[in-house]
Structure 1
Amino acid sequence: MTGSNPPTIGVEEEYFLVDPATRDVAPVGARVVARAAAAVGDLVAQEFASHQVEGRTPPCTGLDRLHDEIARVRAALVAAAREEGVRLCASGTPVVEAHGPLRAGEHPRYRAGLEQYRAMLDDFSVSALHVHVHLPDRELAVLTGNHLRPWLPLLVALSANSPYHRGHDTGYAGWRTVIRGRFPCLGPPPYAASLEDHRRLAVAVAETGAMLEPDMPFWDLRPHPRLPTLEVRCMDVSPVIADTVALAGLVRALVVSSAQRAAEGDPGPRVDAEVLRAACWRAARDGWPGSGPDAGAGGVEPVAEQARQAVRQARPLLDGYGDRPRVAAFFRRLAESGGGAHRQRSWAGTGGGLQGVVDRLVEATEHGGTGGDGGVSTP
């Protein structure tokens, strides 16, 4: 897992389907997935809401391959969506008003969730970026998670792309995180001293009724229940493929550096769950280039300084894997044009209103965004 031999990495991206006339969400996910599957098979899937779809990549070693796989899967979904008369939109929350109650997909787990959480799911319409890093030793994955927990607020801030929700400016950069944070079984995971401790905590939460299945917790960081990966689930989806790839590269380097520390016997910082949730809330409110609590070291620091600390920890791996130019270019784009939430608000101010925001998001999603990968300056 060191030097020039990086573990494989994969991502899942969730997207909204929107009507090009109204810009409202369109509940045709099952039909879009059926069409796209003819091109890319099981790399596409339905999501919780019937107006959403998911794209997945196979495991990739290099970030160039990851970029190409995301583009390939997106292209299949874009084409399928157009054939159904809708468009693909990468935003953490729906921008314009969603009329009528949310229509959930047909998966039994979704139906069980509706029974369990009831009105809490009435507006549970959120689209995420999940990053998987190959880490088959589940005991080590849990201990690695203890080291990675303090970085979750930074990842929330860097990816925040949901300032609007159903026609309203929330005042937040990442409203998706706020929606998820109201659920007792979502958000940052608890500190766990071992895999058995992790399982015990999940069972205890499930016994209250707050979690559907203890074997499938939906915390922001988890050893995947079925895959040999550590999965990071706290980030908003981005329309810019280069940003997604850079974030995935940064996550991989942080996971590997954390795994090295855990393997050497370092138990990781015991960050209080309340402090970590508060830091994620602040990150969701302010995003980039705001400030927020440093959940590991304490105090409040600019997000840019926290990013420098993350890159400092990850730099030996980023250099060894050849990923630092992409990560550096991502931070340069943030410095020059702001994060996803800033871009959405800028688009709203150019005269098109929220419908114009949807149009720009769709355009960026369909074409992979406009950010290049030039530049090697580090944050």
Structure 2
Amino acid sequence: MTATVDSSHPVPFDAVCPLVGVEEEYLVVDPATRAVAPRAAEVLERAAAELGEQVSTEITKFQVEAKTSPCVRVSELEEQLLRMRAAMARAAREEGLAVVASGTPVLGEIVPPPITDHPRYGVGIDTYRALHDEQSICAGHVHVHLPDRERAVLVSNHLRPWLPALIALTANSPFWAGRDTGYASWRTLSWAKWPVAGPPPYFASLAEFDELIGTLTEAGVLVDPGTIFWDVRPSARLPTLEVRVTDVPATAGESALLAAVVRALVLVSLERVEGGDPGPRLSAELLRAAYWQAARDGLDGYAIDPVTGRRTPAADLGTALLRHIGPALEQTGDLETVTARLERLRVTGTGAARQRAAHDRRGRLADVVDHLVERLMERDEPEV
């Protein structure tokens, strides 16, 4: 989300249909070699002429970031995503480059990556060192307007059981620098190495959250609030709850689907918080296992329910999710669209499955990159 919703210009909270926005990270690639190219600065300079503050640098010179404005309707958000992706693609093309929406680079020499020149990144390298070697990864972040930080922390307790499902549904990073990792979301596994990453802990209150952040900061684990990399967090700069668990979705339509689902999850969770439900205290081991299973298989095979530990067909995750958030989707007007798109995703497979299908047709990783370039601005993935 851009700074159009910030603490200096507060917007009243809408408990029926809160504002939602998306941040997406993309990789810059050379269309001839299909390898990632360290030329983000040139792409951003051109894109900024059209998108202004909606575009920004990322930690490596392989990556660019773009942000929507906050929206009430997901249809409006999707149109913004399509325009944003189109503008980024044009800017890249004018530099003889391309951009792709993939959680990890398919091809290229990426370890160690070229780091963007910025004082903050220098401090981060001093602190985290070789963890930056695998930072050429791209996520999708959804911001839901929730200015009450106490409620935002309590809502995160209710979101935790659904984070593995979001990983599975949006998995879009099977390849890593020239090899098939065997995982649907390798980005999830790569990101998990960081000291304050993965699912957030259970917090009984905002005071407990703030106390832990203070302790981690004093211990030198955090560089600043921006290095709280948990998959759900109250935003450090916006009056939002930020859900940042997924790979960057393959298409604009899937990114809009993710935003609708996350907002509905927040609304269901907020209702339970208001009713005095503290949320489930999950086993850390089960939640970790559920993350791993979702990252490995996406919508193929089985998923692990982090509440019960039972195995369930991963293809049924969409049905379970709809059952949980259906009333909230009706409230926001998104039920019909989300139902249809979750079914479409079940038929076409995840972004990771489609990347592999592109590879398997001729056994060429270059075809995967071409597939990603072609799909960047699509509303939905064509049925296969």
2:321 is matched with: 310
For residues 382 and 78 of structure 2, the distance between their equivalents in structure 1, rounded to whole angstroms, comes to: 13
Query: Deviations along 1:89-112, whole A, 9 cap, x unmatched?
Result: 000000013256301112322222
- Aligned counterparts of 1:116 and 1:76: Cα–Cα separation in 2: 35
**Mapped contact 1:23–1:358 kept (Cα < 8 A):** yes
Say if 2:152 is the partner of 1:152: no
Does residue 291 of the first structure (1) align with residue 292 of the second (2)? no
Contact 1:279 1:293 in 2 (8 A): yes
Comparing 72-81 with 87-96, greater Cα deviation is found at 72-81
- In 2, the alpha carbon distance for the partners of 1:171 and 1:207 equals 39
3-state SS in 2 of match to 1:122: helix
C-alpha separation in 2, matches of 1:28 and 1:369: 28
Give unpaired runs (5+ residues) of structure 1: 373-379
- For 1:243 and 1:100, the matched residues in 2 are separated by 30
Q: Distance in 2 between matches of 1:100 and 1:216?
A: 21
- Partner of 2:367 in structure 1? 356
Moved over 6 A (4+): none
Name 1:85's counterpart in structure 2.
96
Q: Which residue of 1 aligns with 2:70?
A: 59
- For residues 285-323 of structure 1, give each alpha carbon's deviation from its aligned partner in whole angstroms, at most 9, with x where no partner exists: 111133122112332212233332221121011112221
Cα 1:40–1:164, aligned 2, differ >3 Å: closer, same or farther?
Answer: same
Residue pair 2:231, 2:245 contacting (<8 A) in 1 also: yes
1:59-102: CA deviation from partner (whole Å, max 9, x where unpaired): 00001100111111112111111111110100000001325630
Letter in 2 for 1:236: D
**Partner residue, 1:184:** 195
**Residues 4-29 of structure 1, C-alpha deviations (whole Å, 9 max, x = no match):** x4001000010000000111111111
Contact 2:28 2:97 in 1 (8 A): yes
Cα distance in 2 between the residues matched to 1:274 and 1:111: 34
TM-score by length of 2: 0.92
**Among candidates 134, 138, 146, match of residue 123 of structure 1:** 134
8 Å contact 2:110–2:136 — kept in the other structure? no
Aligned pair count reads 371
Distance in structure 2 (CA, Å) of the matches to 1:347 and 1:76: 25
Match of 1:17 in 2: 28
Distance 1:255 1:120 in 2: 31
Tell me the distance in 1 between the aligned counterparts of 2:121 and 2:41: 14
Using the TM superposition, give the Cα deviation of residue 208 of structure 1 relative to its aligned residue in structure 2, in angstroms.
3.7
Distance (whole Å) between structure 1 residues aligned to residue 17 and residue 132 of structure 2: 39
The letter of the residue matching 1:277 is R
- The answer on whether the counterparts of 1:144 and 1:259 sit within 8 Å (CA) in structure 2 is yes
Counterpart of 2:381 in structure 1 is 370
Match 1:96 to one of 107, 114, 131: 107
Which position in structure 1 is the counterpart of 2:61? 50
- Distance in 1, matches of 2:99 and 2:225, equals 33
Q: Distance in 1 between matches of 2:44 and 2:307?
A: 41
- TM-score w.r.t. the length of structure 1 is 0.93
Partners of 1:334 and 1:215 lie apart in 2 by 32
Q: Letter of the aligned partner of 2:372 in structure 1?
A: L
Task: Tell me, yes or no, if structure 1 residue 194 matches structure 2 residue 205.
Answer: yes
Quick one: distance in 2 between partners of 1:206 and 1:2? 33
1:319 aligns with 2:339: no
1:266 counterpart SS class: coil
**Which residue does the alignment assign to 1:377?**
none
Answer yes or no: is the 8 Å Cα contact 1:2–1:320 preserved in 2: no
Instruction: Go from structure 1 to structure 2 and tell me whether the alpha carbon gap of 1:7 and 1:177 turns closer, same or farther (over 3 Å shift).
Output: same
Correspondence 1:223-234 to 2 at 5 A: 223-234=234-245
- Structure 2 segments unaligned to the other structure (5+ residues): 1-12
Question: Match of 1:129, as an amino acid?
Answer: G
Alignment correspondent of 1:171: 182
RMSD: 1.7
Q: 1:364 to 1:84 in 2, by over 3 A?
A: same
Matched, 1:266 2:266: no
Q: Which residue of 2 aligns with 1:375?
A: none
Residue 233 of structure 1 deviates from its aligned partner by 0.3
- CA–CA distance in 1 between the matches of 2:282 and 2:205? 16
Q: CA-to-partner distance for each residue in 1:180-205, whole Å, 9 max, x for gaps?
A: 01112111111111111111122233
One-letter code aligned to 1:84: E
Report if aligned partners of 1:203, 1:214 keep a CA contact under 8 Å in 2: no
SS in 1 for 2:344: helix
Equivalent residue, structure 2, for 1:335: 346
Which stretch shifts more, 362-371 or 64-73?
Answer: 362-371
Shift of 1:368: 4.5
In structure 2, the CA distance between the partners of 1:202 and 1:273, relative to structure 1 (3 Å rule), is farther
In structure 2, how many angstroms separate the alpha carbons of the residues matched to 1:196 and 1:347? 49
The CA deviation string for residues 101-153 of structure 1, in whole angstroms up to 9 with x for no partner, is: 30111232222221111112112210011001111110000000000011111
Counterpart CA distance in 2 for 1:208 and 1:353 is 47
SS in 2 for 1:31: helix
